[in-house]
Amino acid sequence: MRNTDDGLDTQSSLRRSNLRRALQLVFRESGSQTRAGIARATGLTAATASSLVAELLDERLIVEGEQAASTGGKRATTLSVDGRHHQIVVLVLHPTSARIALMALDGAEVESRTLEYTVDERDRALDDALAMVADAGGDRLLAAGVQIPGTTDGRSVLESVQLGWHGVALADRFERMLRVPVLLVNDVDAEAVAEAGMDEAPSGYRLFLHIGGGIGAAVTLDGELAPGPRHRAGEIGHVQVVFGDTARPCRCGQRGCLESAAALGAMLGDDFSDALDEDQLRDLVARADPRDLHEGARALARAIKLLSALLDPTEVVIGGPATVLGDRFLALVRAEADYPARGTAHVPVRYADTRVPVGAGAAQAALTATLGVRWSPQQLLPHPSS
């Protein structure tokens, strides 16, 4: 083969691909993976696998551990994800507060804090906070995942009614502060990514529904987001699903929208707020009018039935504050969605895993965008020391 630029590019691309494969194998079996295991799983030679491991060690992405159990010959050295050096910045944005966290490469949360501000103070407060993170983190910072309530193409906030932003080049701004790659992620998309991360081997479509003060959806395919070309996938809250005399007015000015029946404000009453804690939400659920819960379940089931007929998902997951609605509401949704419709299949409906840390989806998205790997479910769950 001639030594051309194209040939060098191909060799470099193949090397990067093999490095990602080797690193993902260590992520999947951190503490028990070996060089020999990587060679077997990839079909590469022992020498090539050792070369890949050497590079990952040099980059401080993995570390050597104890020797593995003997299989009759020389005992192999185990490999683990290096949680001591690289860190991912996680920023979860709300209108008047933000959660800032640092996650180690092994998935452990190193530290976190809540930043509060007024709308007028927000830009300066965020810039000052990220400048401090950059100064403290230095070359340990690997990437940043920013979770926002609004639509984004990963670089700009296309539209966020809650934040009052339209066409804001937020990733560029934060990259200047942090000096690492920054990825913006819609909040519902981030929840869906985190939920998919709890599956060891996600396959097929999964429909994720966030229900809180509003309603949004996200679709993952084999664990990865399946966005639309205009970055508007999942904007289902103001699609009309209730008609006739029972259609309620919606805050958007229309009647019968999904949110007008199935958002938590519609089901739990005017006392609901996104700022309520879990105990306060449970108190509202206990006092809620059963008729409002039933009407919300029926509207939600209609949306689920239609979307499931289109996507054929393996399951539907309900996340957000709605998980406090409990078994009674979930049973109503399942019953309403389980009517016979020719050609459709039964689709399981469940609540999201509430053990997943806030911001885990944004961190996972940033990790995948930067290194091309995913955490295992065990790494995503809170560590005992966290």
Enter the CATH code of domain 202-351: 3.30.420.40
Q: Which of 50-54, 161-165, 212-216 has the highest mean pLDDT?
A: 50-54
Range from 8-12, 163-167, 204-208, 211-215 carrying the lowest mean pLDDT: 8-12
Q: What is the pLDDT of residues 44-78, one digit of tens each?
A: 999 999 999 999 999 999 999 877 665 555 678 99
Please tell me the predicted confidence (pLDDT) of residue 68.
64
The pLDDT assigned to 252 comes to 85
Q: pTM score, two decimals?
A: 0.87
User: Which pLDDT score, from 0 to 100, does residue 345 have?
Assistant: 78
Which bin fits 204, alpha (ψ -120 to 50), beta or left (φ > 0)? Answer: left
Instruction: Report whether pLDDT(8) > 80.
Output: no
- At how many degrees (to 10) do helices 360-371 and 187-197 cross? 80
What is the structure's pLDDT at 109? 93
Give yes or no for residue 264 having a pLDDT over 90: yes
Average pLDDT over residues 370-376: 94
* Residue of 346, 286, 349, 341 lying closest to 316 (CA atoms): 349
**298 pLDDT exceeds 80?**
yes
132 contacts: CB under 8 Å, gap ≥ 6 = none
> Tokens 């860190």 appear where?
87
**Does 34 have pLDDT greater than 80?**
yes
Residues in the chain: 386
Mean pLDDT (the chain) is 90
- pLDDT computed for residue 223 by the predictor: 85
CA distance 191 to 179: 26
Same fold, 5-81 and 202-351: no
Annotate 199-239 with DSSP letters as a single string: SSS--SEEEEEEESSSEEEEEEETTEE---TTS-TT--TTS
Q: What is the pLDDT of residue 74?
A: 64
Provide the pLDDT for residue 161: 84
| Nearest-10 Cα torsion for 305, 308, 314, 320 | -70
What Cα–Cα distance (Å) separates residue 32 from each residue in 63, 67, 107, 263?
12, 9, 17, 45
Name which residue leads in pLDDT, 257 or 342.
257
The structural domains of the chain, with segments of one domain joined by +, span 5-81, 87-192+357-380, 202-351
CA distances (Å), 133 to each of 145, 221, 365, in order?
14, 34, 20
The yes-or-no verdict on residue 216 having pLDDT over 80 is: yes
Residues 177 and 196: their CA atoms lie apart, in Å, by: 31
Task: Report CA torsion sign: 54, 57, 59, 62.
Answer: positive
Dist CA 155 CA 168 (whole Å): 9
Q: What's the average model confidence in pLDDT over 21-48? A: 95
pLDDT band, very low/low/confident/very high, at 224 (cuts 50, 70, 90): confident
Q: What is the mean pLDDT of residues 350-374?
A: 93
Average pLDDT rounded to a whole number, residues 14-36: 94
Quote the pLDDT of residue 291: 95
CATH number 1.10.3720.10 is the correct assignment for the domain at 5-81: no
Pairing of strands 224-225, 165-168: unpaired
Q: Say yes or no to pLDDT of 380 above 90.
A: no
Can you tell me whether residue 48 is helix, strand or coil? helix
Q: Say whether pLDDT at 385 is over 70.
A: no
Average pLDDT of the residues in 166-181: 96
Q: Quick one: what percent of the chain has pLDDT higher than 70?
A: 94
Contacts of residue 218, defined as CB under 8 A and 6 or more positions apart, other chains included, come to 186, 188, 189, 191, 192, 208, 210, 225, 233, 234
Among the listed residues 119, 127, 174, 164, the one whose alpha carbon sits nearest the alpha carbon of residue 362: 174
pLDDT at 230 over 90: no
Residue whose token pair is 């904007």: 235
Taking 90 as the threshold, does the pLDDT of residue 180 lie above it?
yes
CATH fold for domain 87-192+357-380: Nucleotidyltransferase; domain 5 (3.30.420)
> Cα–Cα distances in Å, from 60 out to 44, 105, 282, 297?
22, 10, 45, 50
Distance CA 327, CA 285 (A): 12
How many Cα atoms within 13 Å fall on the side-chain side of residue 205?
15
**DSSP structure class, residue 162:** T
Contact of 115 with 125, CB cutoff 8 Å? yes
Phi and psi of 157, rounded to 5°? -80, 105
The rounded distance, in Å, linking the Cα atoms of 91 and 102 is 9
pLDDT digits (tens, 9 = 90+) for 327-356: 999 999 999 988 777 767 789 999 999 888
